[in-house]
Chains A and B, each alone.
Chain A
Amino acid sequence: AQSVTQLDSHVSVSEGTPVLLRCNYSSSYSPSLFWYVQHPNKGLQLLLKYTSAATLVKGINGFEAEFKKSETSFHLTKPSAHMSDAAEYFCVVSFREGGSQGNLIFGKGTKLSVKP
């Protein structure tokens, strides 16, 4: 069965320090992986995506993620947190099985707090 696990429900960092949001997946197939960000009472915005090309993916707002097949991980990082990064982040997996349209599987989200 396919699944995605976000290892922390809440992460708190100080402004200017690095951010690490962890995500692991399990799959029998080659997945496509995404990170979305959601600010309060807003829709989801795509931060970055991995679709079997380069394993280190750069996204918007200075975020990046590395696909590690051996560890089945796709952790999201940023070298220096900004107050505007405070939001909820979702790790999302899309699987293709037998050519049918794969639906997205969402992690339960990680709330990022940034302290001044």
Chain B
Amino acid sequence: DGGITQSPKYLFRKEGQNVTLSCEQNLNHDAMYWYRQDPGQGLRLIYYSQIVNDFQKGDIAEGYSVSREKKESFPLTVTSAQKNPTAFYLCASSTKGGLWQFFGPGTRLTVL
């Protein structure tokens, strides 16, 4: 089955710690995206990557970092510099130049 997987589904971290969220896709898509979702705010773009070894900042990149070493993987690191990291994080992918995106099931991060 083709799709996007995100792990873990729920993640807890202590304040001041970095944490990495996993996103893997087997759709052979070139482009991948990370969004943050907060209640009543829709989705906001954190980072996106249109090709391996290249990525661009989205609207709210501060306090986050990404890498794109493989086509199928686009991990997101939430660093201790992110002031309000508790949120639901969604990964998505699309074909190169594709208009719509396929979404993973999400990871809910809670900072204790």
**A interface residues (Cβ-Cβ under 8 A, vs B):** 9, 32, 34, 36, 41-46, 49, 51, 90, 94, 101-104, 106-109
Contacts and interface: CB of A to CB of B under 8 A. Distances in A.
A102 B103 CA distance: 17
Contact of A43 (B40, B45, B48, B103): B103
B85 interface: no
Nearest to B43: A106
A95 B104 CA distance: 22
Given A43-B90, A109-B40, A109-B42, A104 B106 contact: no
**For B45, B99, B100, which residue has the most chain A Cβ atoms within 10 angstroms?**
B99
Given A49-B100, A103-B58, A90 B105 contact: no
Contact of A90 (B9, B43, B50, B58): B43
29 contacts: A9-B40, A32-B99, A34-B100, A41-B9, A41-B88, A42-B105, A42-B106, A43-B4, A43-B6, A43-B104, A43-B105, A43-B106, A44-B43, A44-B92, A44-B103, A46-B102, A49-B100, A90-B43, A101-B96, A103-B48, A103-B58, A104-B43, A104-B45, A104-B100, A104-B101, A106-B43, A108-B41, A108-B42, A109-B40
Interface of B: 4, 6, 9, 31, 40-45, 48, 50, 58, 88, 90, 92, 96-97, 99-106, 108
Contacts of A104: 43, 45, 100-101
Contact of A101 (B4, B44, B50): B50
Q: Shortest 6 CB-CB distances between A and B: which pairs? A: A106-B42, A43-B103, A44-B103, A108-B42, A106-B43, A43-B105
Contacts of B99: 32, 49, 51, 94, 102
Contacts of A9: 40
**For B41, B42, B102, B104, which residue has the most chain A Cβ atoms within 10 angstroms?**
B42
